[in-house]
Every structure is written in structure tokens, then in C-alpha cells.
Amino acid sequence: MQRRMGILRWLRQIRHGVSYVNALLQDPVGPANVAEARARVARRAQVLLDMVERAIFAIPDSPYRPLLEPAGYDLARIRAMVDTGGVEATLEALHRGGVYVSIEEFKGMREALRGDRVFRFDERAFRNPLGQEGLLAWSGGTGGRSIPTPISLANLRRGTEHLALALTAYGLEGRPVVVWMSHYHGASLWAVLALAAMGNTPPAWFTQWTSRSGLDLTAVYYRAIQMAARRHGVALPPLTQVPVGEEHRIVTWLGGGLPRGGCGIITTPSSALRLVLAAKEAGTDLPHVAFITIGEPLTPAKLRAIHAVGARAFSSLGFTEFGRATYGCAHPQAPDDTHVCLDAIAVVTRRRPVDRLGAEVDALLFTSLRPDARRILLNVETGDYAGIHSRPCGCLLEQAGWMTHLFNVRSFEKLNAEGRLFFGSHLITLVEEALPQQFGGAPTDYQLVEQEDRNGFTRLTVLIHPRLGPVDEEAVLACVERTLRGADDTATSIWKEMGTVQVHRDAPRMTAAGKLVPLRHLGPQDTDLQGA
């Protein structure tokens, strides 16, 4: 019965996806329009007030009302705050008054405590009551279950307009843009359809993974989308499997007839790194390639390898509940220097602890500013922290009114490798419970460390204190896979295939403040674990 219900659900999704594509391609998105973007930025204060009125105060069961009303924030007061101080000043005042949602609260992993009030959020309660039905993007399930988020036509069109601005800023307007990303990644089909909607259908979609269950329902779904697009004269690219280790096939393809002006490639930083290393091995430069990277940090090591073959790269921050929130600056001051899409989202920071010992970061709080937003976000954390400032840079995205920059974006609540995430709650269970129970010792004898190796690939190392004596490393890796499998089965399979997780016998690393934390991110200045 469950299998039958699953197939029926997929058939409904396919039917709805076909209708969606028909509507999308009947009214394509025009070229990048800087003036329209600036005009939307100028209206953002009113858009915020409209969103608060229609999607929060007009909705009796809005999850934000228990935060706003007991703290004395009604619509009139918020309107006065916006009129006086603007959008960001209002959002900062609200979070100081307790109006924010931490990543743990948003995922339903922890109760919210505000004064003497205690309540628990349901992630599904953040749905947009103003939104329309659309394609479904699925979160990774790192909070315990995968939650579908609808992407309405209006939302995809606005995201397409943003992508068009970014491509123009990078000198890629009218140039072919390739998608090099697993078709299981929520942003991959979005990218294919966004490019098609702007009349720049990607010439290729390369995917690393195939279904291990025999029937690849995601591929079946895409074939139905392709057939619908063909009726509008749009030939979406076939899914071309390029397994890890065979990136030379893409290098050969890139050298086989692309226009002299080059191309863009939407991919993860890890996949971009594999591609440029394959080019280097083949003795080929990629001077006309520009990577738009998503899904994990674009670090200095990865960017150096990309520049070494003559290619360029620009970072982009996004999350399923919103979409692309930033695009890389064309004149960056850091590898992941990005412009916030200010006509659609606002961001402020909140100082918060990130471990049991009191370490703190400036967590990013995002607020959606569009009536077609995928989720209603009002000072919601994503689990990331970053530097934030406004500066003139002279690039096209500044001209669009996107003056706010984020840089050095890192996660405080999850580890990230190969574009796959695990939230800290699952990793802490591994370090503090599963490993000590099976192999002895105390939680302080174990630590999980994220660090780039000499080639720039992100590796996860399980540190085990030598005082525990001999340990079966294969059994440790099996424990890691078993403990994390419930969080994200796809990620554990990918990490196992890539050799991402390794075991090293050494004492867990202390922070500069002398603290011992279960999860560490080591930078290039830290003691190297690459020989492990």
C-alpha cells in the first residue's frame, strides 16, 4: 500500500511539474534589468510591511505571533519602526526583543524559550500563506525529516531575474551555462529551468550519481519535464552521468566546440576542484570558464586551484527555504565575497553561543521580502555566520542596489563536504554517545574535524585519543556511517565513495581559548591533518 501511495504521489508530481513548465515557458523572462532591481530595492520597506501584515498578523496560527505580540510588537509599532529606522534597524530591534528563530527552533529540534514562555515550532508552519503551488524542492532531512518547499512560478521568475543579473555581471550574458551537479540536489533542476526561462537553455547537464534502487524516479520526473519543454520548442539537455574520477570527459567536452567567449558552469566548489585538477592533469587550461559555485564554501585553496588553470569562480549562498540569497561580487575582496539580493531578502546578525562551553559567533538572520517567498522568514537563522558590510565595488550587482556584502561565510551548526550537510545535533550524538559507547573512553577522547587537504578537498577526520589503545578503524567508519545514515542516507553514501571521512589517532584539538569542542573547523593556519 505504501509503495502504491508513493507511486501515486510521484505521478501527481509529474503531472503538476508538466503544467508548471508549460506555464513557465509560455512567458519567458527577459534580459537582466538593473533599473527594475534598483526600483525593487527602493520599495523594500513597504514590501516588508506588507509581508508582516498579510502573512503574519492576518494569519491566526502564524508562528511569529507568539514572538511578536507578547513582546508588544503590533503592526502599528512595526510600521513606525520601519518609517523611522528602515528595514535592517527594525529587524535588529526585533531580534533584541526576542523576535527571531534559531536554526534549532526552526527545525523543531529544540523548544523556543522567550522569558517565561516555552513553545515549539513546526517547520511546516512557516509555509507562505500567500504563495501558490509550484515545483517541490526537498530539504536534506538533516533535521530528522525531509520537508517539501514549493517553488511558485513567480518565485522562480524572480530567481531567474537575479541569475540573469549575476551572469551579466560576470560577462556571461548570452554565453552557454552548463549544470554540473547531481540531479538529486534541490538546486540542480531549478538551475536548468531558470536558464531555460531566460532563453539560455543549458547545453549539458552532468550528474555524478545514479539511483542505487534501480528505478530512478527523479530521472523519470525530469524526462517528463523534458517532454513538456519540447512542445514549446525548448530542448532541455539530457542527464549525462559523469562518475567521480571521470571529470576528464567534461574537460574534453569543453574543448570540443564551445564559443570563444567561453561558458559558465553551475556546480559545487568540490566538483569545480575535481574538474580543474582533471584539466591540469590533461595539460589543459580553462581560461574561458567561469564557475558559479553553490552548496559549500568557496575557500581560498579551491579558488587558487581554479585560478591556476585560468578559470574564474564566484560564490553564491542559498538555502531551500528561500533559494539563492546572494551572488558573488564581480570585483571580490574575498573568495566568497557575495552581494545580498536586497530586493528579495534582508539579513542582520545575532550574537549567539554555538557550543556548551560558550563560544559565540555572529549568526546570520534572514527575512524574506517577497510575497512569493518560498517560506515566510522573519529573523530566521540558517546555521551560518559571516562577515557583513556595505562597500562600493563598482560591479553590476552594486548598480542593481545590492550594496550589502557577505564574506567568509561558514557554518556554526553543520559540517559541509561535497555539497552535503550534517547538522551539529547528529554529529554531537556521534562524538559524545555512539563512539564512546562502542569503543570506550569519554566524549573528550573523540572529535570530528573538518579541514581541506593539500588539493583543496574537504575531509572529515575522526580524531581518537591514542590512550584508548588499538581501535578497529573500519569499525569506526562503520559507526560513523550507521549513526549518520538516518540524517542523510545520500550524504553517507557520497562521503563513503569519496573517501571523505578518515580516522586519525591524535588528541582532540583545543581552541585558541583553550576549549575542547566536539566539532572543529580547521583552517590552513592550523596544524595539518593531511598526512592522516
Beta bridge partners of 380: 101, 366
What distance in Å separates the CA atoms of residue 150 and residue 132, rounded to the nearest whole number?
8
Residue 244 is predicted with a pLDDT of 77
* Three-state secondary structure string covering 203-272: CCEEECCCCCCCCCHHHHHHHHHHHHHHCCCCCCCCEEECCCCCCHHHHHHHCCCCCCCCEEEEECHHHH
* Phi, then psi, of 190 in degrees rounded to 5: -55, -45
What distance in Å separates the CA atoms of residue 482 and residue 490, rounded to the nearest whole number?
13
Residue 198 is predicted with a pLDDT of 94
Q: What are the DSSP calls for 7-72, one per residue?
A: HHHHHHHHHHHHHHHHHHHHS---S--HHHHHHHHHTHHHHHHHHHIIIIIT-TT-TTHHHHTTTT
Residue 134 is predicted with a pLDDT of 67
Q: Are strands 380-390 and 205-207 parallel, antiparallel or unpaired?
A: unpaired
What distance in Å separates the CA atoms of residue 345 and residue 325, rounded to the nearest whole number?
7
What distance in Å separates the CA atoms of residue 488 and residue 500, rounded to the nearest whole number?
15
Residue from 422, 416, 426 nearest 459 by CA: 416
Three-point CA angle 59, 51, 120, nearest 5°: 50
Dihedral sign of CA atoms 359, 495, 501, 109 in order:
positive
* Phi, then psi, of 493 in degrees rounded to 5: -65, -45
What distance in Å separates the CA atoms of residue 424 and residue 146, rounded to the nearest whole number?
17
Class of CATH domain 420-521: alpha beta
What distance in Å separates the CA atoms of residue 79 and residue 45, rounded to the nearest whole number?
9
Residue 28 is predicted with a pLDDT of 87
> Which residue shows C-alpha cell 538593473?
34
Q: Any residues with CB less than 8 A from the CB of 278 and at least 6 apart, and which?
A: 247, 248, 250, 251
What distance in Å separates the CA atoms of residue 441 and residue 443, rounded to the nearest whole number?
7
Residue 119 is predicted with a pLDDT of 85
Averaged over successive runs of 10 residues, the pLDDT of the chain (532 residues) comes to 57 80 88 94 96 95 93 96 97 96 87 88 86 61 50 89 97 94 84 94 88 71 91 94 89 80 88 89 93 88 90 93 94 96 97 69 93 92 91 96 93 51 55 84 76 73 89 88 62 53 81 51 54 41
pTM: 0.80
Three-point CA angle 491, 10, 487, nearest 5°: 20
Domain spans of the chain, in order of start: 420-521
What distance in Å separates the CA atoms of residue 517 and residue 234, rounded to the nearest whole number?
52
Residue 423 is predicted with a pLDDT of 42
